[in-house]
Structures are given as C-alpha cells and as structure tokens.
A = this chain, B = another copy of it.
Amino acid sequence: MDRKRIIIIGGSAAGPKAAAKARRLDEHADIILLQKGADLSMASCGYPYYVGGTFDDRNQLICTATGVVRDSKYYLNAKSIDARTSTEVTAIDRAKKTVAFKKLDNGETGSLPYDKLIIATGAVPRMPPIPGIDLKGISTLQSMSDADFLRGVRDQRSVKKAVVVGGGLIGIETAEALHEAGIEVTIVEMLPQILTFLDWEMAKLVENHARSKGANVIVNNGVAEFLGKDGHITGVKLKNGTELECELAVVSIGVIPNVKLAKDAGLTIGALGGIEVDNHMRTSDKDIYAVGDCVEIQHRLTGKKVLAPYGDLANLEGRVAGENVIMGDVATFPGTVQSGICKVFEYSAGATGLSEGNALKNGFTDVITAVNASPDKPGFMGGKVVVTKLVANKKTGKILGAQVVGPGNVAKQVAQWALAIQGGLTVDDMVNADLPYAPPFSLAIDHAIAAAHIMQNKIKDRMKGISVVDVKKKLDAGEKPFILDARGPDEFEAMRLGIGETLIPLGALRKRLNELPADKNQEIICFCKISLRGYEAALVLEGNGWKNVRVMEGGIMAWPYPREK
C-alpha cells in the first residue's frame, strides 16, 4: 500500500488541527509535524489568563480536556502523528518535494520528502523600530516563553509599573492581566482609539470603563523611545515628549505573517504580506497548503483579502487543509466576517461584520447605523447593560455588522449577529427573530431584536436618529439645539449629561408642550437613559407639529464624553 506522506510545518493551532484531521481521514498516512518551538498545540489565546492568574497550572495551556499534555508522545500514541519539537524547517524544495530541517537542540540537519505539505508558520509580533527596543523588560505576549516571563513577573511581584504598547485585542487582554497581577498599567495607542474593530464612540465606552477600573489609557500617542538603565527598561518616552516610568513594557502592535519559508520557496505572497491561498487553502503550488496566521483569507462581506490571525479561524482552516491533503480538494473555507471579542475588566467588547468606518472605507453605500442600549435580561434577574451599534444597508436592509460593548452578555449578542450576517439576514428578518427566551437569559424582546426594531424604525424614517458623536459636534460648533431629557427628576438628580438639556419627563410632556420652542422648525434633540423614552418623546413632538426632532441614539448609556454627573 502506498502511504501518503504529509508534512506540516508549525505546531501551534492550525498545524496540529490539520494533522489531526488528516489522520482521522487516513489511518495509514505518514504524518510528520515539525515544530520549531518546544511546545505543541498551545492554547495561546489563554496566555493572558495564565499571566493574570485566572489559573495557575501552566500545563493547562498545553493539555487536553482530560489533563494529558499534548507533547510528542501524546501525538504519537493518541494520533499516530510524528510531532517533532525544536525542529526548524530551513527550506522547502518544491521541485524535489522535500523540506530541509534542523534540530535546534543538537544541530542535526536532514530532509524529508512530502506528497503534500501544509505550511502553518503563524505570525511574528510586529516590533517598533525605535531606540531601546532591545532593553531587558520589553516583551510581547505571543509565545509560551513570553507567557512564562510575564507570569514570572506576576509571581515575583517585582514590577510596579508597566506600559502596554498597542490597544488592540492582545494589548487590552495583556493590560488586564498585568492589572490583575497588581501592576499599575498604562496602555499607549497611536491611533485615536483602542480596539479598532469598534467605531470610535463604541471604543470610547470601553476605554472609559478601563480607566474607571484603574488602567491608564493614552490614545493618539505613540512610543518614540524605550528608556533604560544598565540594559533594563526604566520607562518609555512618547511621541509628544511625555515620559512614563515603568519596569516592564509589553509590545502588542499586531503581528506579521511569518512567510519567509513560503517566500523563499517561491510561493505567491499576497498584497498584505500573507501567503496567498485559494478557498481550499491551497497555495500557488498544488501540493502545498497554508493555514493560520500566515495566510490571507477572504472577507465574506467585502470580498477582499484580509489578515485574520485568530485562533478559531486557524483551527477551521487547518481542518479544511487536513481534509484536502487526504481527500483531494473537497473542502472549502468560506472566509471570515471578522467576528472577535475580548474581555475588558467587567466589560466585554465584541464585533462581527463591518463597523461603520470599515463599511465606508470599503466603499459600501447606503450605510445606516442604529444604536441600542438596554439590559441583557430583566432588571429583576440582575440584567446588565449592553450597547449595540448595528450597521446595515438602508436600501436592502441587509445586516453588515454589529458592535457590542458593556458589562452584560456581549458574547451572545455578537454570536447572534455573526450568524445573522452569515445567513444573509435582513433587518426585517431580525425584527421578528425567534430566539430562546426565559428571564434568566434575556429580555422578552431580546436586545438584538430591539436593536433591529430601532434600525427598522430608522430605515422606515419613523425614527430620526442622531449619534452621540454628531450631537457633540453640534455643541462644539456652537449650535444650540433644544435638548430634551425625557427621564424622571430622580434620575436627573442621580446622573446627567449637563449639555444644556431641559428635563421634561415623558409622562408630563404632553401637558408641558408650551415649554418647547415656539418655532416648530427649531432643532430638538431628545434622549433618556437609553433613548426609548427619548424616542417616544420625539414622536409626541412630531405628532404636535415640531418638524426637526431627533433622537440621540443609545441615550446616556452611549454617551462616551464626560458628563456633569
């Protein structure tokens, strides 16, 4: 019998998954996995939680659900996969169909033939080319050794202040981990906001929360230089000249696809720097596949290639390639809608599909947004607020994206929208969605459905919304709209914006219309805590002849600026 020879380069997520899938489809193939590092199949997304002390047993990052460490022996015995660690592939010879390797522990070199090759070489952290970058005490959080180092920092309690460079997913998770470890943390982000998968005003809500939990967040400012003494970091100097003391800096400004092997072998590299693959995860060489953080995949909404270095996609891509190397190109990978989520102290922040900014940047037209702020379940069940910004096409009603932040159940909301998008659902579909309801789990009208209701009202022009950002712009420009807060006096006493608003509770509005501007054309902006009463107030005014009434979407819960109270 002719045994297929499958070689997989890379042993983190996509590689092992591809190897396992290939094995399941062919008990007799020769499957060799070559891993440069010492560990295999690391739960790298778990690093921040190990660093932060959510759990203490390092082995949990590299063991199966039943506690068996996924080492070479495990792969050999349980999966009959020859997984060689500390083994670097130095070259791919496509003509001879071999890979050259070098054992990092003893210097041994050799070459292995393949029938099919899978490249899963991952990505490497992007490092800023600035002075001091080689100082001790500057780390990333990308590898087991990074995790070991930072966990050591936690356990030794040797660091008082740390700077996290970069406010993306990993940066935020790392900042929280260090904060949990008792370290005073500053996040420095060059862009105007953290978490760029969110639109600015949504990211701002998260940023405000992080600050309220004691993390310092600096945006619109990059690191110009790492400062040091005796070879060890003592601080960072920002582009605006500010100096921050710290004994630790973690750099998390993104990753670069690790494509050297592929490039040297002459495989096609995409415009974004990732290996180009077709929807079978096959490279420009018919016998070579590539999966995980080193490839470019298709965005399912824009049709464009994107880098999507996420552990979940790596697994799915690995499964597709593992199937195809054994069965021929039968499995396809449809690409990504870029669903993502992270925990940020007591908030979660997630998104799927396109943000408003991304939709516009990608040339989408007729883009309309709607904001919903409401609890995730009834107050009597301890519901917590979530704020959703929904993005849709005004003409077709097609849902393009959703961003969700807040202390409530964000993950479920984002997952719902992710599947709504993947099912091609429209706003009208979501308006009458049938979701599982009981008070311990959701509102009778689920937060997502309510968001669709708001969007439908906007599309049908029944609700004229205005974003918190546009309200602020008007105020900053000196405009003087009549601003109506439709809440009750107690609520007003406890919390208020202080932007010149007039308090008229919704329940008194119809009797107090004389307090509204006499000019029926004057602009009026209504809101309440979440802008449901604000919406009803706007309808009362429109019903009584005012012609220029708008609802500030999401109300106070979506207001990302400082407030009076």
Contacts and interface: CB of A to CB of B under 8 A. Distances in A.
Number of identical protomers: 2
A65 B343 contact: no
A313 interface: yes
A319 B57 CA distance: 52
Nearest to A74: B507
Interface in A428-448: 429, 431-442, 444-446
A28 B543 CA distance: 7
Contacts of A503: none
A58 to B, nearest CB: 10
A133 B530 CA distance: 47
B416 A422 contact: no
A439 B46 contact: yes
A132 B524 CA distance: 63
A540 to B, nearest CB: 6
Given A415-B435, A419-B423, A510-B80, A441 B488 contact: no
A97 B328 CA distance: 70
A429 B506 CA distance: 46
Interface stretch (A48-56, A141-149, A213-221, A237-245): A48-56
A316 interface: yes
Contact of A423 (B342, B424, B507, B529): B424
Nearest to A445: B315
Contacts of A510: 77, 80
A544 interface: yes
Contacts of A300: 434
A393 B551 CA distance: 46
A371 interface: no
B418 A415 contact: no
Nearest to A77: B507
Contacts of A66: 487-488, 491, 529
A27 B544 contact: yes
Nearest to A350: B436
A316 B507 contact: no
Interface string A316-352: 1001100000000000011111111111000010111
Interface in A290-325: 300, 310-316, 319-320
Given A43-B380, A312-B444, A422 B433 contact: yes
Q: Give the contact-size bracket for chain A.
A: 35 or more
A13 B381 contact: no
B316 A435 contact: no
B437 A533 contact: no
A144 B169 CA distance: 47
A124 interface: no
B412 A536 contact: no
A411 B423 contact: no
B78 A507 contact: yes
Nearest to A334: B432
A24 B462 contact: yes
B336 A49 contact: no
Contact of A339 (B25, B61, B429, B435): B435
Interface of A: 13, 23-28, 43, 45-46, 49-50, 54-55, 57, 60-61, 65-66, 68, 74, 77-80, 169, 173, 300, 310-316, 319-320, 333-343, 348, 350-352, 374-375, 378-381, 409, 411-412, 414-416, 418-420, 422-425, 429, 431-442, 444-446, 449, 453, 462, 487-488, 491, 506-508, 510, 529-530, 533, 535-536, 539-540, 542-544
8 contacts: A46-B381, A79-B536, A312-B434, A341-B436, A343-B438, A350-B436, A419-B423, A419-B433
Given A79-B536, A415-B435, A423-B429, 6 more contacts: A49-B381, A65-B374, A77-B506, A315-B445, A341-B436, A343-B440
